[in-house]
Amino acid sequence: MKIYHNPRCSKSRQTLQLIQEAGADVEVIEYLNEVPTKEELKLILMQLNLKPTDLLRKGEAIYKEKFKNSDFNDDEWIKIMLEYPKLIERPIVVKGNKAVLGRPPENVLDLL
């Protein structure tokens, strides 16, 4: 199991805590420091069954300043998310071929 984690985010910390309390083995990926590859992000989106725009943190200042009201295609949004990983919603938990967004943190229980 992997968690794409931001330790400064309370939802991310709560999701990680649920995983650890369940005793599951988890690889913690601090995605702001270890940005996923384009292929990894595409796979995560497929596993989540989401489009790139569904995974954007639209409340972030960088989104509002640079990208609000922009009309990009999916590949362009993926490139933007990789360039500005802060725009990727978190936490994302992946187990096998399934993934969930830890909002709310209890979503991770589906993978445990």
Residues marked as catalytic? 9
User: Looking at residue 112, what DSSP letter applies?
Assistant: -
What CA–CA distance (Å, rounded) separates 60 from 81? 12
47 close to 80: Cβ distance less than 8 angstroms: no
- What token pair was written down for 87? 């725009």
Measured torsion, CA atoms of residues 56, 106, 11, 59, in degrees rounded to the nearest 10: 30
User: Looking at residue 92, what DSSP letter applies?
Assistant: E
